[in-house]
Structure 1
Amino acid sequence: MAACPTVGTAVDVNLKQYNCVQNFFFHKIQFSNMDPSICNANGSLRSWMGLKREVSCVLISAVDECKRLSFQKEALTQQCHELEKLVETLRGENTSLQLELEQARCAQNQTIMDSTEHDISANLLLSSAETGLPGTAAEIPMSPTVASVRIGQLRDQLTKLRNELYRVETEKEEVKIKLADSQTTVEGLRQKCDLLMRKSEEAVHLKDELDIAREELAAASHLTTTMDQLRKRADEAVELRVRCAKLETDNKVLVDRLAELEQETRLTGHVRSQAETQRLQAADARQAATQANARADAIEAELRRVRDELSATMREKTRLVTELNRLRSCCEQLQRCAPPASALNEELTTVEPDANGMMYTPAMQSQMLTLREELTRLRTSLSSLEIAASTSVADEDHHSLSEHDGSRVMQTSDFPDNSSNLMDNDRHGTSDGTSSPLHMSATKSEDFDGHLVASLRGQLDEKDRAYESMEQQYRGYLWKARSLIRSLQRQLRKQDENAGVANEGSNDVARLRALLVEKERIIENLERHLEQTRLRRDAEERILLAAWYNRGVRQTRELVEQRIRDQQTQPGPPGTQPKTAADDATTGAEEMSFLERQREIHLKPPRGLTSVVVASK
């Protein structure tokens, strides 16, 4: 009972305090909606800012008070729910106890009636036993034996009835005791019920007060939201006035920066075009390498064909040599088998002397002429075959040498000097950076970025030198492989000229095929490594481009923020120089590394003017 007036008094006090704060608020808002030019004309700008701070403090205290009242409301609501649950439980217990009380009363009445009936029946039995005249039965004559038996039965019944009477009286006493206990319990429950009824009435009263407080809190929250909106509008009006004064000056800076960004975009487009040309050159180089491989395959097929023709010509040569030897032997046999001059008188008349003084018959001369013609024909065919074989071998060697020189020139053209392009890009970037007017922080960050870019350029130059040394090493490997292939081809030609055994020739062919497969595998590995190096170089170029772009964005953002902060800084006491945002920016840029600055730029963007003003309040 004592808690209800206390809570009501606390709610009344809070409502009065809230009404006072609300009235004070309305006065302050009316004062804050005044034109700031009037305050500036009166020289009370500082008092204007103080009043705004005071209004914000009062607003914060009112919000805290509203939160506290909402918490109290929730606590009281919870207590009311608990009291309602307790009242319901007590009502259920009261009804159950009333039912038990009614049952006990009914049982008591029943026991009383039973006891009275037993008393009456016992008295009747006693009277009948003493007089020996049991009502209507007394008129019937009985023998002494039957009467004695009847008397014994009546005595037994009397004993049983006395025991039953004693038991009923004890039960009656117990029921009386239970009735007294139940009456005391009912009295206690009645008192509890009265107490709970009073508490329920108090809870209803508190619920009504809570409803009133809830309505007032809703009105207060509505007023709070209205005040927040008014405060935001006032802040936005102040910010708009400040920003309108600065937009004209910032517009020119942004236009200049836009021109710089367009120039940087052109530079990045130039770099991208260079990267695209390098990719196209790489594709052309791959196509040229494919064509060179196809030409090498065609040359190898031609070489095999020439080798087959050479082996056929060698077989033809051996056949012609054997035929020539046979013809020579035939000529010698003919010379030996010529008839004597004494036996051929008729033929001597027609024989003409030879240049050596020998005498031949016309038949022998005709046969000798045919043999000489065939010999000259065989010699000319042999010489032509030897010349064709030598020219084919020379053409093959010359083609392999020209192919090697062409592949070297192609590989050299595939690797353009990217360091010169990077130096040109850096030179353009530095000339653009020096032409733009930047602050001391921008120059320091630019020097740091220059050192970082120089270190990255040194690393790229070292990698380029390593790639060039590796490329020279691979070229040496290719040259050694090709020289080994040529030496093996010479050995194969020598073996073919010597007409070695067929098994040895097949082994050499298998070995040469294995060497050709190994050469193709080496060429594929070199092409794969070349592709990996190109991909790595493209990735490094993308990293450099991203670094340049982030550098330009960061410098622009720092310049804009620096100008905004310089315009927002207020003058300090005389004799002290205020610390500008440029000093903070330079110290922060000196303390943070390149990756931390990039992370700060991308993950934590700067706040706008609205957030800055709200945070300052």
Structure 2
Amino acid sequence: MSSHTRRGEMETDKVVLCESLAIWLQTFNTAAPCTTVEELTTGAAISQALHQIDPAWFSESWLGRIKEDVGNNWRLKMNNLKKILQMMVDYYNEVLSQEIQEFPLPDLVKVAQHSDPVELGRLLQFTLGCAVKCERKQEYIQVIMTLEESVQHVVMTALQELMSKENMAQFGAEPPGDVESQLKKALEDLADLVAEKEELAQRCQELDVQVTVLQEERNSLLAENDVLTDRANQLDSFDDPSTPSGRKHSQLQIQLETLQEENFRLEAAKDDYRIHCEELEKQLIEVQHRNDELTSLAEESRALKDELDILRSCSDRAVKLEASVETYRRKLEDLGDLRRQVKLLEEKNMTYMHNTVSLEEELRKANAARAQLETYKRQVQELHRKLSEESRRADNLAYEKKKFEEKHDALMREKERIIIERDSLKETNEELRCNQAQQDQLLQAGMAGMPAGSPTHDYLAAEILPVEYREKFIRLQHENKMLHVQQEGSENDKISELQTLLEVAHRTRSELDTENRLSRERVTELQQQVEDLQKALQGQGAKTDDSHLKRKLDAHMVQLNEAQDEIMKKKELLEDLQPDNTQTSLRLEELMAALKKKDDDMRAMEERYKMYLEKARNVIRALDPKLNPATAEIQALKNQLTDRDKRILSLERECEQAKLREYEEKLIVTAWYNKVRTCRQNRHVVFLTLYFLLKIKDRNVPFTNVTYTEILFQLKHSCCMSSAPFRV
């Protein structure tokens, strides 16, 4: 409760301070109103008062920037107050050459937005300081002395508070004991002066009463004197001492003279007392000022007591640190070693810098080589694409050439076969001619006596064959015609379809051969690239990829820069390190902290360096083909590719053989069909059948049931067409 009460009293004092300073500000008779707190928050009255205090600094141009018609806009108020406060701070610093850092600056937001009297009082307190420290300060001090006693006391307290903050450093140099003794002495003098003042005031009151009484007596005596004078004038002359009136007059005159002398003496004493009272009042004012100063000094002494306690603790700590100072002095002797270490670190840094420069040069060369390699790769890819296209074209042309060669070979074989058949047919024709000539001779010899066109000749030819053979011959002839028509259509369609399928299969096979060959070439190129990479990795050794090297290089550059900065800091610390007894302990503490920090940084750098080395070793192990298990996987994949290529080749050969067998069978059957159609006699059919059977046997062509059935059907059909008996 006591703290809340004290805080409330302080707030009340601040409000009273604001009101008293507002009353003091009204003595400037500014054009802007300044009777209430809200009117003062605009800043117009304060700026006009400052202009009256020092027109040279707070000029007309500056006063024109202060807006008066701000209304309730707290932002404009804030802008005005900010300009005023900044100008007063500059006035203290530049004109008065005084620092006000110890005094808290007012919160202008509270003043402008909430009209806070506490913060406004601080601003007015700054204005009061400007007034009492300017060139016309005597005028403003006299104006302050003419104010009411309560207002005057508050204004003087505010002024002393402001001056105490400025004189803190001056009084801080005095010993605390002298301040306390001076404060006690000043308080005693103040008490004596107050008691003396009270006594003098009481004496003055008594003298005033006596003077009043004497004046009344004097007045009464003067009145009585006048009356007596009138009576004396009426009765007789006062100059005659023999008369009672003369005696009375002389006595009264003597008494009057004594009273006048006493009056003069009392007036002189009164004047002396008045002068002494004025002097005592002046002394009282001075004592009050001194009392206020001593009060501030008492506060300062209390603060200094606290500082003294802190300094005592610091002195105790300094005593404790003296032992460590000795050890630090001994450690200072080891600074030569540190300097040598710094030189070694500088040499290492230079070597690192040279290595860094060389690595950067290699990195630039590698980047240039990489760019050229990328262009070469693109060119190689383009050439590979063109090569693939040309290979496909060459394969297509080779396929067409092969097809034409096969056609040519087939035509040549067909030509040879036709020549052989032609020769055999010639021989057969000769034999048939001989047989026909023999039959004609026999018929002519047997039928010499009969006419050539008689009906008996026809009957004889018809009766040579039996009836069942004639019926069977007619029926087979009809069936042969029907089957021949059907067979021609179906066989032609089947042959065209088979030829189309054969061409598609050959084209597909050619494309697959091309793709397979390109794949083998690609695999070979990849194997060559893998071998080149392995050789490059073996040649590079501990070199990693460029990106990793670049990152590592950047990290090392940062570390080198940090180490260089640390070395420069150590140099500065070593150069600035001097045996100053007053600052030895602080410098030693800073030096030990810096050394500890640098040792920690060096250890951290060594750990990072070891970590980077371990990472580099891991990368080298990962890229080394002798230690990399991925090589076995690549070899296994190569073996699988080789097995697959062999399997593909064997399947292609089997497919080609099967297609060739099928194609040869179809060609044989087709040729046999064509030959059978051209033949009209049984002997020719039998001869051709035997010929093709021998060809099939010689070629080891598989003679399927379908082919055998078709041949038998064609033999039967040919026999029917040639009117010859058919026997299997």
Higher relative contact order (CA 8 A, sep 6+): 1
TM-score w.r.t. length of structure 1: 0.31
